[in-house]
Amino acid sequence: MRQPEWPRSRYWLCHFLNNRHMRVRIDWNAPHAPFLQGGAQPIADWLTWTTQINTASRGRLLRWATTECATDPAYIQSLRLFVKEEQWHADIATRYLSLRQMKGRAGGINRAMARSLMKPLGLRFELSILLLSEIAALTVSRLLLKATNDEALRGLLTQGIHDHECHIAFHSERLTTEFADFNFIRRNLRRWRLRAMFTALVTGLTLRHRRLLRAIGCSKTQFARQAWHTFAAVLERMVPYGRDHLLAALLNQQQKPYEKAGLP
């Protein structure tokens, strides 16, 4: 549903501007706590994975947004601030790895191939990939926070969980508007495509970070169940079966543009 300005754009612009000054205090000087049962390497691999921001795709995202959302400058600026916030998270993760003298493995050829396939698919697809990645990262961060006693890592994860939740709300609200003009058939096809994409993402993460899941004490099935619980809640708000639920979500955006976002 193309509008001159997305009703929530100014809310999210204010959110990202304010969030830069509302950071969790990370105690970098806290005593080093023992790592999980699996050692330091699984944590290092996970944090390294989170620092590998695809700058090329972010550039494409901003170019597409500038072209397709030219009448909504607040949304374009919100996206720019989102990208900067991502980079800040990568920076503090890198600082933690350096502080603990840890080195993780790079993303690998599968991730590079997946990124190369996303180039020509447009703004909606790029936002969908971002949304699904945030849901998966949120699930892992919540599990890891419960399992670690390292205060510096706990501060990093606490901030990450808060920001992942906000990013999920940010992208899902926008995609609700983007999918609003789809008819019943297209909406259902989009639901199935998002399910397939999320299945592939969760499967890849489970295989790559299985050592971390074992160290946390979480089985592959438990991880998938928790990730799908969040995904299903977001999907039902974003692409609901009932047209009345979709119209209610859009009406709420228009009538209450500055209301606090509903987090998963």
CA distance 5 to 100: 46
CA 264 centroid distance within chain: 12
Among 163, 169, 168, 164, residue whose Cα is nearest residue 23: 163
DSSP labels, 177-228: HHTTT--HHHHHHHHHHHHHHHHHHHHHHHHHTHHHHHHHT--HHHHHHHHH
Given a cut of 70, the residues of the chain with pLDDT beneath it are 1-3, 35, 37-38, 106-120
- Enumerate domains of the chain plus CATH numbers: 9-19+35-255 (1.20.1260)
CA distance 263 to 191: 20
pLDDT of residue 120: 61
How far apart are the two ends of the chain, measured CA to CA in Å?
24
Helix (H) or strand (E) segment spanning residue 31: none
Could you tell me the two tokens for 15?
Answer: 């959110």
pLDDT of residue 253: 86
Helix (H) or strand (E) segment spanning residue 238: helix 220-238
pLDDT of residue 247: 82
Using the structure block, give the residue that is written with the tokens 């979500």.
Answer: 249
Ramachandran angles phi, psi of 199, nearest 5°: -60, -45
Name the 3-class secondary structure at 258: coil
CA 162 centroid distance within chain: 11
Among 18, 38, 24, residue whose Cα is nearest residue 210: 38
pLDDT of residue 109: 46
CA distance 81 to 20: 9
CA distance 156 to 239: 32
243-255 and 151-178 helices, crossing angle to 10°: 110
Kindly report, residue by residue over 88-105, the tens digit of the pLDDT. Answer: 999 999 999 999 888 877
Radius of gyration of the chain measured on its C-alpha atoms: 19
Kindly report, residue by residue over 137-151, the tens digit of the pLDDT. Answer: 999 999 999 988 889
CA distance 101 to 40: 10
pLDDT of residue 108: 54
Among 153, 159, 19, residue whose Cα is nearest residue 84: 19
Could you tell me the two tokens for 27?
Answer: 């105690």
pLDDT of residue 115: 52
